[in-house]
Amino acid sequence: MLGYDLSLAESFYFLRSYYIIITLCWLRIAIYYMSPPNPKVKKTNKRLRSKYGWVKGEFEYIEDCCAEGDREMRSSDLWRKLMESQGIYSGYGPTPEEEPAAGGPLSKDVLNDADLFETPEGLELEDEHASSAEKQKDPNAKKLFRKLIDKTHPDKTQNNDHVEDFFKAREAYDNNNIAELVALCMKHDIDVPEHLLEAENQSLESTIASLQHEIKTKQGTLAYMWYMTENDEQKQRLLDIVMKQYGQQS
């Protein structure tokens, strides 16, 4: 009888300890997710968001300049004469000896079969057969992308008003770009959990550094420098420098 009482007491003590531990764990999780962020982290986040918006706008501007400069350069008489002097065909489109490919860059069959609005894999519950690439998806990116689908996907909104943002969100999700996903959430009035601030700050810093590097690289291209010229004299001087460097390399 005494042995039975002791066993029951030990079982009760074990169960009570178990529930106390579980309760403390859940309490710690709740405090982590519900507590307000560090004021410094919040100020840093605000500054990085502003900087990210400016750098992204600058990158898009430089990219447009490069595209325009490349078109202008290749269609100019100066470039055509330079290429002809080197025995190189210049300009867009097929050479006189070539015929344009039938069907254009995308055939009708490809366009008809393609599902441009297909939701990326990995948003469903992962099973044992899920690819390692999908398992590496940032869970924060997945949560934000789910919310953005409801606001931007044509099947959800019953219109095409936010199709461009859906494509941006999908690309950001594929690249684990928390900064872009958060920016899109802010645009569509989607609440972003405050515990994502630190993760977003790291993503913002990485994205800003990458964009700044791309900006410097594009500013050093011939297309961008051509776009920045103001007259034919500057264009000719630029081509002379290019040919001089080409001659030294060859």
Rounded to whole angstroms, how far apart are CA atoms 240 and 230? 16
Model confidence pLDDT, tens digit, residues 137-182: 778 888 889 999 999 998 888 888 999 999 999 999 998 888 788 8
Contacts of 205 (CB under 8 A, 6+ apart): 48
Indicate if the pLDDT at residue 240 is higher than 50: yes
Rounded to whole angstroms, how far apart are CA atoms 170 and 163? 11
Indicate if the pLDDT at residue 109 is higher than 50: no
- Residue that wins the pLDDT comparison between 58 and 109: 58
